[in-house]
Amino acid sequence: MKKLMLPLLLTGLILGSCQNKNEKTAETTTSETTTEVVPQDSAEVMEVSDGHTTENSVDWNGTYKGTIPCASCPGIESTLTLNTDKTYVLESSYIGEKKQNFVDKGTFEFSKDGSFITLKDDQDPNESKVFLVGENQVFMAEKVGDRSMKEDYKLTKKL
């Protein structure tokens, strides 16, 4: 019986030491993950970044279409084309008796977290529009960080 206790004790110690190594590896992996605290609407939200953003993981280039609300007309038919060289064309057609068409061209840049784009108009450097970019859709937003994704302000990608 005494001869059997020593091998069992050694086996238990060996298995125990293997588990500690696995736990240390898991701790190391977890501690290498980057965390960033981003203030949002006066509340702090903790986000974990693994390197994936909308900019590098979504097929965002292409043409998006939809009708967004208008205060003085039935709606604005909008077509937004995003090019891989980070230029854009935004065509807006106000629906109504006197149909008005506007074309804005310029460049855009992604937000730090890669979820939003800000359109910068070539003709008016003070004019900018913000969109939250998703898979096959974009949502017009009031500012970077506005994740309200109102259905009325959605443009859908034309495949």
* 78 pLDDT more than 90: yes
CATH fold of the domain at 58-157: Lipocalin (2.40.128)
pLDDT for 102-112, tens place per residue? 999 999 999 99
Range ranked top by mean pLDDT from 18-27, 30-39, 43-52, 97-106 = 97-106
CA atoms of 95 and 73, how far apart (whole Å): 6
Structural domain spans, the chain: 1-31, 58-157
Phi, psi torsion values for 4, nearest 5 degrees: -80, -30
pLDDT for 18-27, tens place per residue? 554 444 444 4
CA-based radius of gyration for the chain: 26
- Position 50 scores a pLDDT of 55
* 151 pLDDT more than 90: yes
CA atoms of 10 and 157, how far apart (whole Å): 64
Q: Is the dihedral of CA 130, 134, 135, 137 positive or negative?
A: negative
Q: Identify which has the larger pLDDT, 159 or 126.
A: 126
- Position 42 scores a pLDDT of 36
